[in-house]
Amino acid sequence: MPQLKVLGGGREVGRSCLQLDINGHHFLLDCGINPAAEGRASLPDLSQTSIEHLDGVFVSHAHLDHTGAIPELLRHGFDGKVYMTLPTLALLNLLWQDELSIMEREWTKDQRLWSSKEMHKILMKLAVPTTYHEVFKLNSIRVNFHNAGHILGSTMTEIINNNYRVLYSGDLGTSSNHLRYWRTEDLTNPDVLICEGTYGGKNRKSRAETEKELLSKIRAALEGGGKVLIPTFSVGKTHEILKIIKDSWNSLPNVDVYLEGMAIETLRVYEQFLIYMDDKVRRAFIFNNINPFRWDALRIFKGLTERKQLHRKEGPCIIMAPSGMLRGGWSVWHMMRMASSEKNLIALCGHMAAGTTGAGLLDGTRDFLLRDMISKDEVGVRVSCNVAHFDLSSHAMHNELCNYISKLKPELLVLVHGEESSLNALAESVQQYAGRVVIPAVGEKIDLMQPAMSQESPHNVEIPLAQSTSLILNKEASMKVRHMGREKYMRAADLRSLVRR
Ligand SMILES: [Zn+2]
Ligand SMILES: [Zn+2]
pLDDT per residue of the chain (501 residues) written in tens, 0 to 9: 899 999 999 999 999 999 999 999 999 999 999 987 889 999 999 998 999 999 999 999 999 999 999 999 999 999 999 999 999 999 999 999 988 988 888 889 999 999 999 999 999 999 999 999 999 999 989 999 999 999 999 999 999 999 899 999 999 999 888 899 999 999 999 999 999 999 999 999 988 999 999 999 999 999 999 999 999 987 888 889 999 999 999 999 999 999 998 888 999 999 999 988 999 999 999 999 999 999 999 999 999 999 999 999 999 999 999 989 998 889 999 999 999 999 999 999 988 888 899 999 999 999 999 999 899 899 999 999 999 999 998 999 999 999 999 999 999 999 999 999 999 999 999 999 999 999 999 999 999 964 433 343 444 555 556 666 666 666 556 667 776 666 666 666 566 655 543
Q: Which ligand is nearest to the CA of 154?
A: 1
Read off the DSSP letter of residue 46: G
Q: Which ligand is nearest to the CA of 63?
A: 1
3-state secondary structure of 80: coil
Q: Which ligand is nearest to the CA of 395?
A: 1
Q: What is the pLDDT of residue 451?
A: 46
Give the distance (Å) from ligand 1 centre to CA of residue 462: 42
Q: Which ligand is nearest to the CA of 153?
A: 1
Domain formed by 207-390, architecture: 3-Layer(aba) Sandwich (3.40)
* Distance, CA of 65 to CA of 42 (rounded, Å): 9
Give the distance (Å) from ligand 2 centre to CA of residue 421: 17
Give the distance (Å) from ligand 1 centre to CA of residue 268: 19
- H or E stretch at 250: none
Interior/surface letters 462-474, b for 16+ CB within 10 angstroms, e for the rest: eeeeeeeeeeeee
Q: Which ligand is nearest to the CA of 199?
A: 2
3-state secondary structure of 215: helix
Give the distance (Å) from ligand 1 centre to CA of residue 467: 48
Residue type, 139: N
Is there a contact between 45 and 445 (Cβ–Cβ < 8 Å)? no
Give the distance (Å) from ligand 1 centre to CA of residue 33: 12
Q: Which ligand is nearest to the CA of 394?
A: 1
Q: Burial, 453: exposed, middle or buried (Cβ in 10 Å; 0-12, 13-18, 19+)?
A: exposed
Give the distance (Å) from ligand 1 centre to CA of residue 66: 7
In 3D space, the residue among 500, 48, 38 whose CA is nearest the CA of residue 492 turns out to be: 500
Q: Which ligand is nearest to the CA of 393?
A: 1
Q: What is the pLDDT of residue 36?
A: 78
Give the distance (Å) from ligand 2 centre to CA of residue 282: 26
Residue type, 358: G
Q: Which ligand is nearest to the CA of 66?
A: 2
Give the distance (Å) from ligand 1 centre to CA of residue 150: 7
In 3D space, the residue among 169, 188, 173 whose CA is nearest the CA of residue 29 turns out to be: 169
Chain-centroid distance, C-alpha 229? 23
* Distance, CA of 469 to CA of 415 (rounded, Å): 35
Give the distance (Å) from ligand 1 centre to CA of residue 63: 5
3-state secondary structure of 18: strand
Q: Which residues pair with 18 in a beta bridge?
A: 6, 29
Q: What is the pLDDT of residue 456?
A: 37
Q: Which ligand is nearest to the CA of 88?
A: 1
Give the distance (Å) from ligand 1 centre to CA of residue 313: 37
Give the distance (Å) from ligand 1 centre to CA of residue 200: 15
Give the contacts of 500 (CB within 8 A, at least 6 positions apart). Answer: none
Q: Which ligand is nearest to the CA of 30?
A: 2
Q: What is the pLDDT of residue 457?
A: 42
Q: What is the CA radius of gyration of the chain?
A: 24
Apex 324 CA angle, 321 and 325, nearest 5: 135
Give the distance (Å) from ligand 1 centre to CA of residue 168: 14
Q: Where in the chain is the domain with CATH 3.40.50.10890?
A: 207-390
Q: Where in the chain is the domain with CATH 3.60.15.10?
A: 3-202+394-448
Q: What is the pLDDT of residue 230?
A: 97
Superfamily of domain 3-202+394-448 in the CATH hierarchy: Ribonuclease Z/Hydroxyacylglutathione hydrolase-like (3.60.15.10)
Give the distance (Å) from ligand 1 centre to CA of residue 14: 9
Q: Which ligand is nearest to the CA of 177?
A: 1
Q: What is the pLDDT of residue 467?
A: 61
Residue type, 256: D
Give the distance (Å) from ligand 1 centre to CA of residue 135: 23
Cβ-defined contacts of 110-118 (< 8 Å, 24+): 110/39, 111/38, 111/39, 111/40, 112/39, 113/33, 113/39, 113/40, 113/42, 113/43, 113/68, 113/69, 113/71, 113/72, 114/71, 114/72, 114/74, 115/71, 118/71, 118/74, 118/75
Q: What is the pLDDT of residue 429?
A: 97
Q: Which ligand is nearest to the CA of 197?
A: 2
* Distance, CA of 250 to CA of 91 (rounded, Å): 31
Give the distance (Å) from ligand 2 centre to CA of residue 95: 14
Give the distance (Å) from ligand 2 centre to CA of residue 65: 5
Give the distance (Å) from ligand 2 centre to CA of residue 498: 34
Task: Write down how long the chain is.
Answer: 501
Q: Which ligand is nearest to the CA of 65?
A: 2
Q: What is the pLDDT of residue 494?
A: 63
List, as one string, the DSSP characters of 349-377.
ES---TTSHHHHHHTT--EEEEE-TTT--
Write phi, then psi, for 436 (nearest 5 degrees): -150, 140
Q: Which ligand is nearest to the CA of 12?
A: 2
Give the distance (Å) from ligand 2 centre to CA of residue 454: 34
First to last CA, the chain: 33
Give the distance (Å) from ligand 2 centre to CA of residue 463: 42
Write phi, then psi, for 151 (nearest 5 degrees): -135, 175
Q: Burial, 133: exposed, middle or buried (Cβ in 10 Å; 0-12, 13-18, 19+)?
A: exposed
